[in-house]
Amino acid sequence: MRRAILVIVVFYCSVSFSQDLKVREEAVRLLEHANAVSSSPKLPNLERVDTFQVLGESGAKEGSLTRVVIQGVGRRDEYKLGDYDLVNVWAAKKVAVTGSSKILPPDLMDVAGITPIHLVRFDHEDVIHSITERSVGGRAARCIQFDTVHGEQTDNNELCVDLANGTLVFEKLGREMVENSEFFSFAGALFPGKISYSSAGASRIEISQTMTELGAADANVLAPPPNSSLHAICTTFRRPFGISMPQPQPGNGGTTTDVLVRARVGADGRVYEPVVQSSERADLESEALDLARKWTFTPAMCNGQPNAQEISFTLHFQGR
């Protein structure tokens, strides 16, 4: 399953590859049409605002993600969640950064991954089983049931497309679910005004989304914020490469549990600020972070100079 818009999710699966090619052909057609319906042929200067609540046992936390784009000139991103507040302004071959210096919190990363809409495509790892009709959010939809096959594990998935307007209204991909509703028209495409995100059966994030067209006079929003630090945008870039990346000690069980970690690789090649982005076992997360801190890399290179770079990587707990 390929993502048409960035999202950090890893699928591991295994099942029979038997499938009806006519069913697969129709599933691909439905999904391609859904992607086209929510892809603008030409975006104008715009401001997109996603306000959201992160739901948890200790209550709800408020946050927002605001993106302003001046086409062909630059963009301004602001991320807010609790006391985290980061502003990046990309313009004139530089990025101005102000606010929180720590790595983006996992919940904000999830919001960034499913907005303005999380679009996907089938690939060779996906085995299509059937297409059925059912109601999703009170609207008739055609739903594609399929498995994603990778290695020794299987994810049982479902995608639902609105029967009337062709939009992607529901995604169940492994343990994660995304529900899109209240679609609005913007720049020749349909985008969800409401997005709900769940993981392992628990509601986690509720998002409200708006988009507004901006005029040429709004280009001043790309002025560097006060007290910001300026960094050159890389014209040549090389990612970090692993030197030492030990995996957890295996156990005696018959399954493998994966923990996805995000971190910053510093200019010295060491790992800083690791956070768990997704995990099936909370009891393994502390061990995963401790081990990740021991990993070493060649540093990323930006314009020929060592540079800090955020990366993501998976730790495999075999038999644990």
If asked whether residues 260 and 158 sit together in one domain, one would say: no
State which of 177, 209, 233 marks the end of a domain: 233
If asked whether residues 67 and 166 sit together in one domain, one would say: yes
- CATH number for the domain including 242? 3.30.2420.10
Distance in angstroms (rounded) separating the CA atoms of residues 8 and 280: 15
If asked whether residues 228 and 252 sit together in one domain, one would say: no
If asked whether residues 173 and 66 sit together in one domain, one would say: yes
- pLDDT tens column, 39-97: 999 999 999 999 999 998 888 999 999 999 999 899 999 999 999 999 999 998 899 99
Q: CA of 41: how far to CAs of 49, 66, 164, 188, 260, in Å? A: 21, 22, 21, 7, 34
State which of 185, 207, 233 marks the end of a domain: 233
If asked whether residues 130 and 164 sit together in one domain, one would say: yes
State which of 233, 256, 276 marks the end of a domain: 233
> 3-class DSSP state for residue 310?
strand
If asked whether residues 85 and 203 sit together in one domain, one would say: yes
Query: What is the number of domains present in the chain?
Result: 2
Our separate counts of H helices and E strands in the chain read 3, 23
For residue 287, what are the domain limits? 237-318
Map tokens 């946050």 to a residue. 63
CA nearest to 262, candidates 295, 225, 237, 224: 295
- Asked if 166 and 146 touch (Cβ cutoff 8 Å), the reply is no
State the number of CA atoms in the 13 A half-sphere of 236 facing the CB.
5
Q: Which helix (H) or strand (E) holds 163?
A: none
If asked whether residues 223 and 244 sit together in one domain, one would say: no
If asked whether residues 134 and 210 sit together in one domain, one would say: yes
- pLDDT tens column, 228-280: 999 888 999 999 999 999 999 999 888 889 999 999 999 999 999 999 999 98
